Structure 1
């Protein structure tokens, strides 16, 4: 983003449901704040008031949603989120730590829903004016292991978590393909490792970038 001030940093966490994104984002926020940095924690969908409404539709609507309509809803949330929250924070020189971004749409709506991945990516880039994070941490986890974690939480599944195993395997393959295509932006980590090992690897990568 050309409108950010020096020091502004944008990190996104990606991966399948149950891979530990929220835990790692919280640990990274704590690390930055100990250095005196201002951190904005956010997520997609749901990082804004508009996003909360969209999140309820795409994750908790009881009926079916046409795949293209679902992709457009995510893109609408993303456009509003970047314009009203992410860009202003980066312009202030703050650190944005975000749970999911456009790579989720490419993986879930592109591969998972079997839409055209290139079109999904282009839609998000158009919606956000081409905005991309400084670093995307992909927490890679076998879908069977991820399902065990979700089952252990004993919480109701949302629409995407409830999809069949084949869906989640397509999502994982798509994530790994995205990371292979943009190695300079992605950090791929084995999400089955201990939590502290993963957080140390994230900090090591960011220490080099800083």
Structure 2
């Protein structure tokens, strides 16, 4: 009996406007074209807690007017949603991976560290909240200057609470700190390049990695 191949957990990260959702969709379409089982499963998830987080980010739901308390509350909610996203028995990440499905996620615990930490104390708190979550098989980090991020965001019909110059500047700095010490498989990509150029780079990286052969991507 042929052993089922474990799926791979691929994460896309970057500040708002960096194109991570676009690239995740392009990779998903590529997998579909190659008849490789795959799902797009972003965070916040589509679960109960994830929907609560989305409402808070859109400022349709307000827990407190205190920014420090708001960040801490969101950090707890993100962690709860992340646990559900990974481990729920309906469409959780690990259930899908066990079925040989590639899981593409936009945002993971890296985003919590980048967006919800405003100082070293908060960073340590959020790190502890997320320290038991497993590392993904591969992370793509899309680096983008804040000025370009804001230009792209301003074209949208609505903006979220974290989409300000001061916040995104701090988030970008946090991302750089995170990936300076992250020991897993990750690649930084220049998000100012055209989407198709970035997509081809992602495909090249994936097909060059050993795990891509195991997933049937060769």
Shift, 1:7, TM fit: 3.5
Q: Say if 2:116 is the partner of 1:117.
A: no
Moved more, 30-39 or 51-60: 51-60
Say if 1:59 and 1:160, in contact at 8 Å, map to a contact too.
no
Say if 2:38 and 2:101, in contact at 8 Å, map to a contact too.
yes
Q: d(CA) in 2 for partners of 1:115 and 1:17?
A: 24
Q: d(CA) in 2 for partners of 1:203 and 1:27?
A: 10
Structure 2 alignment gaps of length 5 or more:
213-218
Q: d(CA) in 2 for partners of 1:124 and 1:183?
A: 16
Q: Say if 2:8 is the partner of 1:6.
A: no
Matching residue of 1:57: 56
TM-score normalised per structure 1:
0.87
Within 5 Å, give how 1:88-127 maps onto structure 2.
88-111=95-118, 115-126=121-132
Matching residue of 2:86: 82
Say if 1:71 and 1:109, in contact at 8 Å, map to a contact too.
yes
RMSD: 1.9
Structure 1 alignment gaps of length 5 or more:
none
The aligned length equals 199
Q: Say if 2:190 is the partner of 1:187.
A: no
Moved more, 58-67 or 117-126: 58-67
Q: d(CA) in 2 for partners of 1:171 and 1:47?
A: 24
Matching residue of 1:132: 135
TM-score normalised per structure 2:
0.84
Q: Please give the secondary structure, in 2, of the residue aligned with 1:174.
A: helix
Say if 1:109 and 1:115, in contact at 8 Å, map to a contact too.
no
| CA offsets 1:42-77 (integer angstroms, 9 cap, x no match) | 111133243223321344324536121121111111
Runs of 4+ off more than 6 Å: none
Shift, 1:20, TM fit: 0.5
